[in-house]
Amino acid sequence: MTWHLPDAAATDALGAALAATRPPRAVVHLVGDLGAGKSTLARALLRALGVQGAIRSPTYTLVERYAVDGGEAWHLDLYRIGDPGEIDYLGLDADAVVLWLVEWPERGAGALPPPDLVVALDLGGTGRNAALTASSPVGDEWLGRLTAAFTPELFTAG
Ligand X SMILES: Nc1ncnc2c1ncn2[C@@H]1O[C@H](COP(=O)(O)OP(=O)(O)OP(=O)(O)O)[C@@H](O)[C@H]1O
Which residues of the shown chain bind ligand X in the complex (CB under 6 A)? 5, 7-8, 10-11, 32, 34-40, 77, 79, 103, 127-128
- Helix/strand/coil percent split, the chain, to 5: 30, 30, 40
Nearer to Mg ion, 39 or 129 (CB): 39
Binding to Mg ion in span 54-83, by CB under 5 A: none
Interaction between residue 40 and Mg ion (CB under 5 A):
no
Nearer to ligand X, 4 or 25 (CB): 4
Q: For the residues of 43-78, what is the DSSP string, one character each?
A: HHHHHHTT--S----TTTTSEEEEEETTEEEEEEE-
Interaction between residue 128 and Mg ion (CB under 5 A):
no
Distance CA 115, CA 105 (A): 9
Closest residue by Cα to residue 133 from 124, 121, 120: 120
Interaction between residue 38 and Mg ion (CB under 5 A):
yes
CB nearest Mg ion: which residue?
Answer: 39
Interacting partner of 29 out of Mg ion, ligand X, none (Cβ under 5 to 8 A depending on kind): none
Nearer to ligand X, 96 or 151 (CB): 151
Q: At 17, is the secondary structure helix, strand, or coil? A: helix
Nearer to Mg ion, 38 or 128 (CB): 38
Q: At 105, is the secondary structure helix, strand, or coil? A: helix
Distance CA 127, CA 157 (A): 15
One of 39, 41, 58, 76 touching Mg ion (CB under 5 A): 39
Shortest reach from residue 58's CB to ligand X, in Å: 9
